[in-house]
Structure 1
Amino acid sequence: MKRVALILAGGKGTRLWPLSREKFPKFFLKFEKDKSLIQESFLRLKGFFDVKDIFIASGGEYRYLIKQEIERLGFKYPLENILPEPVSRNTCSAITLGAFYFKNRFKDAIMSVFPADHIIKPYSVFHKALEKANSCALRDFLVTLGIKPDYPATGYGYIKAKVARLKAKNKKAKVASPPDRRAGLKAKKYYEVERFIEKPDIKKAKRFLKEGGYYWNAGIFVFKVSKILSEIEKFMPEIYNKFQKWNGKDFTYLEKIYTDLPDISIDYAVMEKSKDIALVPFSGIWSDVGCFEEFYKILKKDKSGNVISGRVLNIDSKNSFLLSDEERQLVTLGVNNLVVINTKDATLVMKNGEGQKVKKVFEILKNDIVTKEHKLVIKPWGWYKVLEDKPGYKVKILGVNPGERLSLQKHKYRDENWIVIKGEAIVTLDKKNIRLKEGESVNIPRGVLHRVYNPDRKRILEILELSRGEVIIEEDIIRLEDKYER
């Protein structure tokens, strides 16, 4: 049976603030070897799936950015493999979206689901676990990968496996003999699942580790498309029925149904209710990189136990995670067991071990710009950097990649002035095209259609943008043409 992968690129990574923001989710963060987490996820799956059979479900606003991330790895990646969600409605809706898409395109397949932002090693051990999971899924089980715990973690959900493995009723049978689909399941491959458990306190986590038979819930699933859809129809008809009318092609239709979908995970919606759940253990290296402590555990440390990255001057500090933006100097003197994250516009200082509480900080600051975006904001056409943001005016530098252009747009509440500081620009102003060289500028009154194009095929175009007006927000952009379908 055909195998397909669905990477779920969602969430905000609130426990990794200020590195992750609403408009710069966790899966774009670079972890090691200068690759982002979503790039690592793609490379990890490439050895098990054909590139054309790896799909990604994510917010529509990230579609082109994700395509660019994958193509930086040297692959030509089709845009139609990125399934855009109008809004985030948790993993049940995202998986239902993928399952209906695969049903319409392939009729049936073995569908494997992966978070976009995990670290898993070694690939060979992971692929062996996936092979076992695929074999089990062929027998109409919903399979989850369970991570064998090596410490009493309180930040993960757990899965309790039944002591007895799934055994063949006919011990001589080498393959399943209908109608008993459990026949032929060999020892040391699969467990039936007894129950799913919420994140425990430290006392329970220690007991789980001591007793054995408990696994971390990694959010990795393998099942037939037909099987997961039948279970969603059974347990979540309010989601199933909405998608049933979708043809698998018209993504604008999803905008009509998504706002009414319940915000629920596949664990709560289906996995905890179904009677056909199996677990395949994975004993390799795994981390959901859900907080800074997880980063610290995996990254290489110096002889004093420090992880240091960026513009950092450290004197006599120990056992600390010290990270600073290249434009901001961080100095630590004699500190111990701290996490210090120093970005262009926000600094986090906390005791190592308090990482689960960062989410509270994010909630408190949720209306502040520092939780929404970085000073440097990545766009499909390039980037922009905010230099100054005050009442009545805002100053930015726009970096337009070679051969790229912004959308044809206008503003209702602000005037703009563009000054070319590097490269050469072709500016559309109403129906005229104006060529600007370095040092030349153009004034753009509110209500006037405009855009900029970088004709150079090698150099980035940089423009100093001064916006003036009573309201200066990204939402004040009225697009008439946009190659990125925003």
Structure 2
Amino acid sequence: MIVPVILSGGSGTRLWPLSRQNRPKQFLALVGDSTLFQQTVERTAKLNDAAAPIVVCSEDHRFTVAEQLQDLGIKGASILLEPSPRNTAPAIALAAMHALAADANAVLLVLPADHLIGKESSFVSAVSRATPLADDGWLVTFGIRPEAPETGFGYIRRDRALSDAGFTVGSFVEKPDMDTARRYVESGEYDWNSGMFLFSAARYLEELKAHSPDIHAASQAVFQTAHGDLDFVRFDKAAMDAVPDNSIDYAVMEKTDRAAVVPVSCAWSDIGSWSALWEASDKDTDGNVTDGDVIALDTRNTLVRTHARHLVATIGLDDVVIIATPDATLVAARDKVQDVKKLVDRLKKDGRSEHLAHREVYRPWGSYDSIDMGERFQVKRIVVKPGSVLSLQMHHHRAEHWIVVSGTAEVTCGEKVFLLTENQSTYIPLGVTHRLRNVGKVPLELIEVQSGSYLGEDDIVRFEDIYGRA
């Protein structure tokens, strides 16, 4: 069976302000109603004899991954948590070891979680054609047939033909300048490097051990620390920190003599920038792509996305990107969006928080939106999913007022446990242990007003928590 390995550790900084550290682009619905991560998982389900996926992600995104898998009805998936990011070579090694523990003949289909594929049937066909090569011990990568010269991707030069399926890899080349990219495309010998792979789990570890023995040994040491936590597999952070940081391309694929490439045309995009999203999206007669409440007058070839209850109106624009979120708005020329990463670096340098989290923050029990704040107060809109419960907790520096807008809340406040319904409220004094539970069958919505000398999220002492955070 083919075991899909979904690599979900990217940060997607070039899609700021929509993509942020706590919810990067793979977990956003950028094209269609489902997220890029969910589309990747659904794509693997169309393969013949595909097993449940192995997802490798950061600890911060574990509940997002679990919830999005649950929304798809996926059962039996393994979620491996990286305590620190060490690039793709170690991540795939841990997935390979995990797969081999269940099946000595496991074949891994390694997929980044943030890619868009418009022609899924072509992709499924390419995997089918590549499978005999993987069975013969080749480490297969999928080369995207270039539609035009592109300087944002690495390239793969095809060499000797291997049956009708693919070719040996002549060389991997870094992102070229435009003149070089044109020569690559005109030669007909080069494909874009997609970062997607198919190979036997055992063969990958053999090649990793042969060409990057330090990564192989350190990854083995990490895997020995594996232990279950709820629905997740955790590893020791100190052991993970000792693993060399390297990609599969540098650690294995550029060194092995068993690299093969299977070309495929499947309307592929890595959605690496706002211009890439514009190119991959359906456009109106003026070449515009809009999402949300947008009025565009005398506007062409422009991407506009806005959030709920916020109108964006444009006049006389061409080739512009406008992305509006509740706490930040990006306005950029469409040919300058590769510099968004520099803007994010500036936010980090200035000590700002807009690159870390949205105003609306998702939690395993639901979400909260910080709708207003001042020096000694903060107002949040809190939504708790049916049957969900927050941790039993207390705060050293703030008191809270809760007003129920809809639904039914079970409130623990000190020794008291009582119900609140619509238009009812309660007060949680500073230092008092409390808990909130949705005992109804519809989402519980309430307004929380915090007041105190310090209102940071780290002023939470958890005593009990069903999500393992106590």
Q: TM-score range by the shorter chain?
A: over 0.9
Q: The residue matched to 1:219 in structure 2 has which SS? A: strand
- 2:173 aligned with 1:197, yes or no? yes
Partner of 2:287: 305
Mapped to 2, the partners of 1:240 and 1:450 lie a distance apart of 47
Match of 2:443 among 440, 455, 460: 460
Taking the TM superposition and a 5 Å limit, the aligned residue runs for 1:42-191 are: 42-48=41-47, 52-73=51-72, 75-78=73-76, 81-162=78-159, 164-166=160-162, 186=163, 188-191=164-167
The secondary structure found in structure 2 opposite 1:77 is coil
Question: Structure 1 CA distance, aligned partners of 2:257 and 2:461?
Answer: 50
Q: Displacement of 1:431 after TM fit?
A: 4.1
Report whether the alignment pairs 1:325 with 2:307.
yes
Q: Secondary structure at the match of 2:450?
A: strand
SS in 2 for 1:325: coil
Flag structure 1 segments of 5+ consecutive residues without an equivalent. Answer: 167-185
Report the more deviating stretch, 471-480 or 420-429: 471-480
1:476, 1:89 → 2: CA distance?
Answer: 30
Which residue of 2 is the match for residue 384 of structure 1?
A: 368
Say which SS state the counterpart of residue 146 (structure 2) adopts: coil
Structure 2: how far apart are the matches of 1:267 and 1:413? 49
Q: Is the 8 A contact 1:327 1:344 kept in 2?
A: no
Displacement of 1:238 in angstroms is 2.9
1:179 aligns with none
SS in 2 for 1:35: coil
SS across alignment from 1:453: strand
Write out aligned runs for 1:213-224 (5 A). Answer: 213-224=189-200
The one-letter code matched in structure 1 to 2:186 is K
CA RMSD of aligned residues (A): 1.9
Q: Is 1:429 paired with 2:417?
A: no
Partners of 1:100 and 1:243 within 8 A in 2: no
What is the letter of the counterpart of residue 392 of structure 1?
R
Are 1:484 and 2:467 an aligned pair? yes
**Identity across the alignment (%):** 38
Alignment of 1:363-382 (within 5 A): 363-366=345-348, 367-382=351-366
Deviation at residue 389 of structure 1 after TM alignment:
2.8
Structure 1 length normalisation: TM-score? 0.90
For residues 249 and 320 of structure 2, the distance between their equivalents in structure 1, rounded to whole angstroms, comes to 34
Q: C-alpha distance in 2, partners of 1:478/1:224?
A: 46
Shift of 1:66: 1.8
Shift in Å at residue 386 of structure 1? Answer: 0.8
Shift of 1:258: 1.7
Equivalent in 366, 379, 385 of residue 395 of structure 1:
379
Partner of 2:400: 416
- Contact 1:311/1:328 (8 A) holds in 2: yes
Letter aligned with residue 87 of structure 1: S
CA shift for structure 1 position 484: 2.3
SS at match of 1:30: coil
Q: What stretches of structure 2 of length at least 5 have no aligned partner?
A: none
Aligned residue number for residue 455 of structure 2: 472
Kindly provide the amino acid, as one letter, of the partner of residue 98 in structure 1: A
- C-alpha distance in 2, partners of 1:433/1:426? 7
Matching residue of 1:262: 244
- Name which of structure 1's ranges 196-205 and 147-156 shifts more when overlaid on structure 2: 196-205
**Deviation string for 1:106-134 (max 9, x for gaps)?**
22311110011111132221111111222
Deviations 1:385-409 (A, max 9, x none): 1111333222111100111111222
- The alpha-carbon deviation at position 256 of structure 1 amounts to 3.5
Confirm whether residue 211 of structure 1 aligns to residue 187 of structure 2: yes
TM-score, length-scaled by structure 2? 0.93
